[in-house]
Structure 1
Amino acid sequence: MRMDSQKYRKDVRSKRAPLFFLQLMTWSLLIVSTLYAAVLPEQIAVIVNTRDVNSVEIARYYQQKRKIPAANIIRVEFPVTNSMDRASFSVLRNQVFLQTPEHVQFYALAWTRPYRVVCMSITSAMTFGFDRSFCASDCSSTERSAYFNSNSTAPFTDLRIRPAIMLAGSNVQQTKAMIDRGVQSDGTFPQGTAYLISTTDVARNVRSGVYESVTAQLSNRIKIETIETDALSHKEDVLFYFTGKAEVEALETNRYLPGAITDHLTSSGGVLFGDERQMSVLKWLDAGATASYGTVMEPCAFPQKFPHPGIVIERYTRGESLIEAYWKSVAWPGQGLFVGEPMAAPFAGSRH
């Protein structure tokens, strides 16, 4: 994470500073939504890699659990690698697009690899198409998502994009368990807590600046605790957990309620395999979370490239499905990977 690099500090002090702080201020605003929704099975298309036996098994399991229509199962074939090149991905996305029913609004990617397309995450590349404006060149901003904090309940119909999320895990059993937690969460109205963690890692603690306003606006809806610690431990009611660390300790000591959303702001949390320096988001899922998010390329700790805690909490507790609330919380998602059970809706039917 290079938030505190000399170059970055120089850029912020330079003529770019007014733009940066304007963007940061805009990100910090929490706009209360007026709609609530839950994604329906016919709105989800599941993409399966027929060359990957694990993908085939996960897609079949998810279709069964969520009663996804047969017409919404999209079968393609490509190599199982960590990253795809641009040409191969363009062929893949074209094949997917041609098979997708017009009414589908979201994609569930039934695999764990690949997770990146050159400089974009696979979920953002599938959503927007490969576009370098969504990639960072050193410490720079990227293209803004039109879906950010949107009240749209049909992003393809309204915006011509289908937000994507990965049905992924460290193994098939963990992925199935994550899916089960999402299904179990529906309409449960859990009495959980949102933990907003302020760490000693200054470069990765940049989201803490909005914690006070989030608490002020949303504490009448859900219990919120702002805690200064590097590792939350032995909590029995975790529904949200937002922090900033390269490695988060004691994950397994907490109990994550079905539907829990958790993530850590760091450089390469979305690098699912092979990064020994920073924690993969898969560790959150192994510990019992239902969704997480991380970047696949160096983001330089722009908070706009990570989920806004207030937007996630506000929309999720208002009744939106996980894929809606999580995707709408990221202003610049090009480098960010979404992993989780998209239809999870613990507060479905809420009329807050």
Structure 2
Amino acid sequence: MFETGMKKIRLMLCVTAGLFFLSTARAQMPHECLLLVNRKSQDSLKVANTYLAQRRIPQRNVIYLDLPENLYGGKATVTPEQFKWLIWEPANAAIRERGLENQILAWIYSCDFPIRVETDPSDRKQMSVGGLTFMRNKLPGLSLVEEGKFLSKLFAGPNERIKLNLNAMSLAMQKKGLGPEAKVPPEAAWLQRGLGDRMPLPSMMLGYTGENGNTVQEVLNALARGAASDHRGMRSGIYFVQSDDVRSKCREWQFYPAVNELQQRGIKATVTTNFPAGEKNVMGILMGAETVDAASVGSFANGAMAEHLTSWSAEFQKRQSKCTDWIAAGATASAGAVVEPYSNPNKFPSARFYVHYAAGCTMLESFYQSIACPLQTLLVGDPLAKPYAPAFGLRILGTDTVKNDFTYVAAVESKIQGAQFEYTFFVDGKIVQEQSDQNSFYLRVLNLSDGYHELRVTASIRHMVEYNMTVDKPIMVNRTGRSIRIQPEISRLAKHEHGIKVQPGGAEKPEKVRLVCGEVVLDEKVYADDVELVLDERVLGEGPNRIRAVGIYADGMNVSSAPLSLGITFAKD
């Protein structure tokens, strides 16, 4: 139970009388996610481009990797060495190069990545790619993986080892901890100091489009549903389906306690022996069955999560219904095991998934607080969907064109009683003012080149689950008179190639001009009045994109144009 309107927020662990006090921490926000894209796959590019536009993840948080089709096709399996060389090491090298080490809390994989790591000749001891990511590329005891006895540090109970029902928390709260002043029962002592360097790395995959998986369009539909669900969670439509199947019985003890927790939040959930065929606006289904007819559901609400605890629901060469069936039927996310998991509830989302979700956590945060042993699990869908997070208005007040230093102000419009806001400021995706209660930022123009820049502010509420909103403001800096723009006429050079011309402003001309998309350099040439930069659609991929021209001057200043937004659709042969 939360009490707002206080400098510190109290909450009670559900099965203890102990109280502890809340210190400030950051929650999972777009800038705390890393998006991994396989540039060898046009489907991966298309899905990532769409997600970037929907979720406004900074482009400097996007990393492009090169994985050949034999590693994401078929069984989509890699060795630990391949995972290390092709995914883990290059991704972390880019993180270090961009100074994101302390910022990233979760990885998001686009489609066309491997889903399984062959960590052992025994199929039952193998791990998912998400599991090895979670372990930060360090193999645990594989017998613990097989038996589901590895205990996630993010799991919020209860199971046979954690008897507590821990309150919903942000990922950053788990990392930072509640502070030494927190009064915490002995069973949850780690909450006081936080996980720090022992923090695991949760991840999700936007979609599985490999063999027997979803179509790209089904994945895009699910991501659209996730974005549309924010702040619009249904107050009913969650079903816990019971049956005599062992897959159901192993988890049904969780159902009624979750119903009671959800009822305290004003959300109706139903325990039933009838599959909700024909029901409309279904927000969630948790059940256990070898096969399900997901398409028989009348309709899913935006943001819905459905899962059916069965063997091989994410091993796509085996029989039984797949987790992707739910995505095709209209759910926003699902989960499945990439190997034979047995009917082990520790390897699947518990019924408390919906409790964390209803508390305002994102899809990803809700999954990881509800899965005790996530090391063989594939999570698919929109990781940032947050149907139950409260919304508020946010604006940046200030000028669009800057010649001298200027102070920008973040203005919140909120009807949330007692809310205390904190603000993080960014320039061009980089944090320039860490999270604090200061709602203004003094921009020093000497620190910036002429041309286009983006000022971003994220406002968040002090809370165990830190509710947040983000807004961007484009600004043009003009302290030396330099500028550059993309000319509107674009020429066709070849089937997928286009010519882009630029026009510098001011007395000086750049030495070179460059065409970029985020951190990706598309072309660079020595400047001349008739120079033409080449845009290759295949490098960007289909979907929404933004490109900029950059003039590079003799003194090293890089002057950016305003971005040109374009949607790319490949012409059919």
Per the TM alignment, residue 37 of structure 1 is displaced from its structure 2 partner at its CA by 8.2
1:345 aligns with 2:386: yes
Aligned residue in 2 for 1:304: 346
The residue number in structure 1 matching 2:153 is 146
TM-score, normalization by structure 2: 0.52
Distance 1:186 1:38 in 2: 16
- The residue aligned with 2:377 is 336
Structure 1 residue aligned with 2:317? 274
Q: TM-score, normalised by structure 1?
A: 0.83
Of 56, 71, 83, the residue aligned with 1:89 is 83
- The structure in which a higher percent of residues are strand is 2
Against the structure 1 CA distance between its residues 166 and 217, is the aligned structure 2 distance closer, same or farther, given a 3 Å change threshold? same
After superposing the two structures, state which structure 1 stretch, 92-101 or 148-157, moved more.
148-157
Mark the runs of 5 or more structure 1 residues left unpaired by the alignment. 1-28
Matches within 5 A, 1:242-257: 242-257=286-301
Matches within 5 A, 1:53-68: 53-68=42-57
Q: Would you say how many aligned residue pairs link Structure 1 and Structure 2?
A: 320
Higher helix proportion? 1
Could you report, residue by residue, the CA deviation over 1:176-195 in whole angstroms, capped at 9, with x for unpaired residues? 11110110001113233210
**1:129: how far off?**
3.1
- Determine helix, strand or coil for the equivalent of 1:96: helix
1:225 aligns with 2:270: yes
- Report SS of the residue matched to 2:372: coil
Q: CA deviation at 1:94?
A: 1.3
The offset of 1:342, in angstroms, is 0.7
Structure with more contact order per residue of length (Cα contacts < 8 Å, sep ≥ 6): 1
Cα pair distance change 1:38/1:225, threshold 3 Å: farther
Check the 8 A contact 2:136/2:201 in 1, yes or no. no
Question: By how many angstroms is 1:153 displaced?
Answer: 2.9
Q: Which residue of structure 2 aligns with residue 25 of structure 1?
A: none
Matched with 2:396 is none
Deviation larger for 128-137 or 341-350: 128-137
Asked if residue 186 in structure 1 is aligned to residue 230 in structure 2, the reply is yes
For 1:161-211, what per-residue CA distance to the aligned partner results, in whole angstroms no more than 9, with x for missing partners?
221000004121111111101100011132332100112312443111121
Seq. identity, %: 27
Aligned to 1:110: 110
Distance 1:233 1:332 in 2: 31
- State how far apart, in whole Å, the 1-side matches of 2:355 and 2:284 are: 11
- Structure of higher CA gyration radius: 2
How many angstroms apart in 1 are the aligned matches of 2:360 and 2:342?
32
Distance 1:38 1:251 in 2: 35
CA distance in 2, matches of 1:145, 1:138: 11
The alpha-carbon distance between structure 1 residues 75 and 113, as it changes in their structure 2 partners (threshold 3 A), is closer
Match of 1:161 among 186, 200, 210: 200
Checking the alignment, whether the CA contact within 8 Å between 1:192 and 1:223 is kept in structure 2 is: yes
Tell me by how many angstroms 1:252 deviates. 3.7
Q: Note the 1:188-227 alignment, pairs <5 A.
A: 188-221=232-265, 222-227=267-272
Is the Cα–Cα contact under 8 Å of residues 148 and 330 in structure 1 kept in the other structure?
Answer: yes
State the 1:156 CA deviation.
6.1
Amino acid at match of 1:256: F
Q: Is 1:98 matched with 2:93?
A: yes
Query: Following the alignment from structure 2 to structure 1, what is the Cα–Cα distance between the partners of residues 34 and 148?
Result: 31
Range with bigger deviation, 55-64 or 37-46: 37-46
Equivalent pair of 2:350/2:371 in contact (CA under 8 Å): yes
Amino acid at match of 2:90: Q
C-alpha spacing 1:313/1:253, structure 2 compared with 1 (3 Å): closer
**Which residue of the partner structure matches residue 532 of structure 2?**
none
Corresponding residue for residue 337 of structure 2:
295
Structure 1 stretch displaced more, 257-266 or 110-119: 110-119
